[in-house]
Amino acid sequence: MDFFISDTHFGHKNIIRFCERPYRTVSEMNEGMISNWNKTVTDADRVFVVGDVFIMDPVEASHIIKRLNGYKILIAGNHDRSQKTMLDCGFDEYHRKYEYEIDGIGTGLLLHYPMPDILIESMGYKFLVHGHIHDKPHRYGLKINVAADLLNFTPMSKNSLRSILSMKTFNSKSSTETFEASVKDGILKTRMEIRMEDFSGAVDHIYSVMRNHWSEKKK
């Protein structure tokens, strides 16, 4: 079985206060999330961690990551370290984004940041699994937020993800969204009218457009 979670923030003392997590200490939070994970996930399972795993010393973090059951796949977030560091900490794979197929739903994208639905659709995806935002809603339009704070600090199964995506009633995507980004003759042209929560994903996409432009110029 596949599972999904993001924004565990192991070792992050201030996240307890910032997000009103139900823990008194960092140690209690770390051990609580480890226990929830290992009660849910077996070593025969895969877990996709959609960014922001820990904010602590990597050596200390490695002791936590290596205690977690399953084959662990990281989709890196803004607080995560280099590929080498995260693999050394106990992850089996490291990605910036990851295409994921769900039978009956189609192909989606796993990315740390939420992005506008109009962009998700233009890229040919049926859904986006993300983190970064620790608050509700759990689903908005084509987006599913798997931040630990919304999942009772327990990885969510693929079956649960499929059920949510199959629901007909949810927060509808905005009908007024606009998003464009292109580069021509060294000039970046952008236009957007999007939800504020989706801004980080929009900017991440703009950087990818710029990187593609520079790569083409070097050929």
Residue 176: predicted pLDDT: 80
SS3 119: helix
Question: What is the distance, to the nearest Å, from the Cα of residue 160 to the centroid of all Cα atoms in its chain?
Answer: 16
Compute the distance between CA of residue 153 and CA of residue 173 in angstroms, rounded to an integer. 26
- pLDDT tens across 129-151, in order? 999 999 988 999 999 999 999 99
CB 44 within 8 A of CB 169: no
Q: Which of 93, 212, 88, 109 is nearest to 165 (CA)?
A: 109
What is the pTM assigned to this prediction?
Answer: 0.93
SS3 34: helix
- pLDDT tens across 80-94, in order? 999 999 999 999 999
Residue 119: predicted pLDDT: 95
Helices (H) and strands (E) in the chain, counts: 7, 12
